[in-house]
Every structure is written in structure tokens, then in C-alpha cells.
């Protein structure tokens, strides 16, 4: 103590106490979720990754997947800002039009929101992606029809989407995209229509679909569309 000198030791203690007091005064200020932010432009998004558009796409995709799940504070999808979310979908679409990652999340994850009225940006996005010429991209338009018809109960929108879906028909595709308009217009019950649509998407795409996507669809059919009694009787749902 003597060699250091009392003023230096006092100065150190004062600095230490000041530091502790400052940190305690801000102890109540915690990281909080400020909802989905507006999306940047594609130029800004790729600049943040030194012009690597693919890396920007992949990193933003993981960020989208993690929105609302930071610091252990899980948020309900109904609390998300879906207008901003739609901006992110279209940003990602500008960075990569070939990947199925964002359509997958839009359909199966964000499409499960507790408030179906939020689904318009999701459906608009899937409508655009579903009309791309790539192999099996039309499946996303099928998902858009499903969301509009079954979750949103917006018949006019579903019919308009079914029109777009029919236009994507090419030889070699299953017939249901052509028949979708008739299926929607029929007087089948909501659940029957939903079951039929999901089953057809699953049947026609299971060869090229990622196993996780197949699992998501099976889970949706068996645990959301079907009642527990129907689930027990459906061979598709064994083990679900």
C-alpha cells in the first residue's frame, strides 16, 4: 500500500465503486425483442456480407428463423409484424430465387400464425415464388391456395390463386393443380378440402421434398387437420 501511494489506491477504489454503481443503475435495462425490423434493400443486405449475395441470403434466412426467439424470450407468431416479415421474404427472394428455404418457412412456420388475418404478405410471397419456372416451384402456389382457402377462408383470393396455379401446369405434373379451382368451388367441408389438398401436395412432391418438409406436412395433417379420432383411423398418421 505504501509503495503504491494512498492517492492511487483511493483513485482505484473510487473507480471500482463508480463502475459497480453504473452497472447496477442499468441492471433493469434488459435486451428486449423490438419485433421484426423493416428489411433493408438487397444492395445493403449483400454489402453487409462483402457483396456475397449467397452468404447474405443464408445468414438472413437463419436470422428470419430466429426472430422472436432471442435471449430465451419466445414470442407468439401473432405478435410478429407480418408486413415487415413480407419485406424480408421479398428481400430474400431478390438474393436467391432458387432456394426453397424461405418458401418452406413462410408456408409451414409463419403460415401457422394464430392470427390468420396476418397471412396476406405470406400468401403474396408464395404466389410470386410459385410462379417461377424452377422444378416443383408450383408447389408453393399450392401452399398459398391452401393458406387462403383453409386458414384465411378468403374464397375469392383462393380462386384467384387457383387460377394462377392452373397456369403453371406443364406435362408431367399431377392433375390436381388444374383441378384446384373446382375443388375450392365444391361444397366439400373445410377439413375435407384441406386434407385432400395437403395429401395431394405430399403425394406429388414427396420424391423431391426434403424429409423435414415431409415430416412437417404429416404433422400438420395428423395433428391440425384431423381430429384425434380421424388421426387414429388414418394409416398415414401411424407414429405421428
Partner 1 sequence: MSIQLVKYVLLAALRDRMLWGVFAISLLGTCLSIFSGSAAIIEQDQFVVSYMAGGVRILSLIGLVLFVVFYTRRSFDARDVEFLLTRPVSRAKFVLSHVVGFSLLALISGAFLALLVLLMARHGDFHQGMALWAFGVSIEYVIVANAAFFFAMVLNSPVSAGISTLGFYVLSRMIGSLLAITGHIAMTEGAGFYKALSFAMNAVSFILPRLDLMAQTSWLIYGGVSFSEWSFVVLQGGIFLALIISATIIDLKRRQF
Cβ proximity of 79 and 191 under 8 Å: no
52 vs 124, which CB is nearer to partner 1?
52
**Binds partner 1 by CB under 8 A, chosen from 52, 79, 124, 234:** 52
Spatial CA neighbour of 43 closest among 91, 93, 87, 86? 91
Which of the 8 DSSP states describes residue 187? Answer: -
Cβ neighbours of 30 (radius 10 Å): 8
Q: Count the residues of the shown chain that bind partner 1, applying the rule CB under 8 A.
A: 27
**Binds partner 1 by CB under 8 A, chosen from 46, 107, 118, 128:** 46
Cell of 64: 428470419
Cβ proximity of 140 and 98 under 8 Å: no
Contact flag: residue 99 with partner 1 (CB under 8 A): yes
Interface segment toward partner 1; rule CB under 8 A; list 21-29, 39-47, 165-173, 196-204: 39-47
Binders of partner 1 among 140-199, rule CB under 8 A?
none
Binders of partner 1 among 116-145, rule CB under 8 A?
none
Interface segment toward partner 1; rule CB under 8 A; list 6-14, 29-37, 44-52, 161-169: 44-52
Q: How far is the CB of 218 from partner 1 (least distance, A)?
A: 15
Which of the 8 DSSP states describes residue 188? Answer: -
Q: How far is the CB of 67 from partner 1 (least distance, A)?
A: 13
Cβ neighbours of 230 (radius 10 Å): 14
**Binds partner 1 by CB under 8 A, chosen from 33, 40, 55, 131:** 55
Interface segment toward partner 1; rule CB under 8 A; list 14-22, 118-126, 185-193, 206-214: 206-214
**Binds partner 1 by CB under 8 A, chosen from 1, 29, 31, 50:** 50
* Rounded Cα distance, 188 and 186, in Å: 6
Spatial CA neighbour of 61 closest among 74, 77, 49, 78? 49
Spatial CA neighbour of 220 closest among 193, 200, 194, 189? 194
* Rounded Cα distance, 116 and 119, in Å: 5
Cell of 126: 408464395
Spatial CA neighbour of 217 closest among 127, 77, 111? 111
Contact flag: residue 240 with partner 1 (CB under 8 A): no
Contact flag: residue 213 with partner 1 (CB under 8 A): yes
Q: How far is the CB of 136 from partner 1 (least distance, A)?
A: 13
6 vs 50, which CB is nearer to partner 1?
50
Interface with partner 1 (CB under 8 A): 43-44, 46-47, 49-55, 57-58, 61-62, 65, 96, 98-101, 104-105, 109, 210, 212-213
Amino acid at each position: 500500500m505504501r509503495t503504491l501511494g494512498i492517492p492511487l489506491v483511493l483513485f482505484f477504489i473510487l473507480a471500482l465503486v463508480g463502475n459497480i454503481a453504473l452497472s447496477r443503475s442499468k441492471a433493469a435495462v434488459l435486451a428486449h425483442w423490438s419485433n421484426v425490423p423493416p428489411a433493408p434493400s438487397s444492395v445493403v443486405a449483400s454489402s453487409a456480407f462483402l457483396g456475397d449475395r449467397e452468404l447474405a441470403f443464408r445468414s438472413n434466412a437463419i436470422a428470419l428463423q430466429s426472430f422472436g426467439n432471442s435471449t430465451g424470450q419466445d414470442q407468439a407468431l401473432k405478435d410478429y409484424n407480418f408486413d415487415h416479415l413480407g419485406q424480408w421474404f421479398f428481400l430474400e427472394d431478390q438474393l436467391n430465387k432458387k432456394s426453397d428455404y424461405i418458401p418452406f418457412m413462410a408456408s409451414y412456420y409463419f403460415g401457422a400464425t394464430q392470427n390468420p388475418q396476418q397471412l396476406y404478405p405470406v400468401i403474396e410471397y408464395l404466389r410470386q415464388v410459385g410462379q417461377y419456372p424452377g422444378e416443383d416451384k408450383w408447389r408453393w402456389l399450392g401452399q398459398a391456395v391452401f393458406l387462403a382457402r383453409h386458414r384465411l377462408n378468403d374464397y375469392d383470393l383462393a380462386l384467384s390463386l387457383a387460377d394462377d396455379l392452373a397456369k403453371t401446369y406443364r406435362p408431367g405434373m399431377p392433375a390436381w393443380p388444374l383441378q384446384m379451382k373446382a375443388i375450392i368451388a365444391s361444397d366439400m367441408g373445410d377439413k375435407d378440402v384441406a386434407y385432400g389438398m395437403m395429401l395431394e401436395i405430399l403425394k406429388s412432391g414427396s420424391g423431391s421434398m426434403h424429409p423435414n418438409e415431409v415430416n412437417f406436412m404429416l404433422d400438420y395433417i395428423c395433428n391440425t387437420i384431423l381430429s384425434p379420432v380421424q388421426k387414429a383411423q388414418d394409416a398415414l398418421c401411424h407414429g405421428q
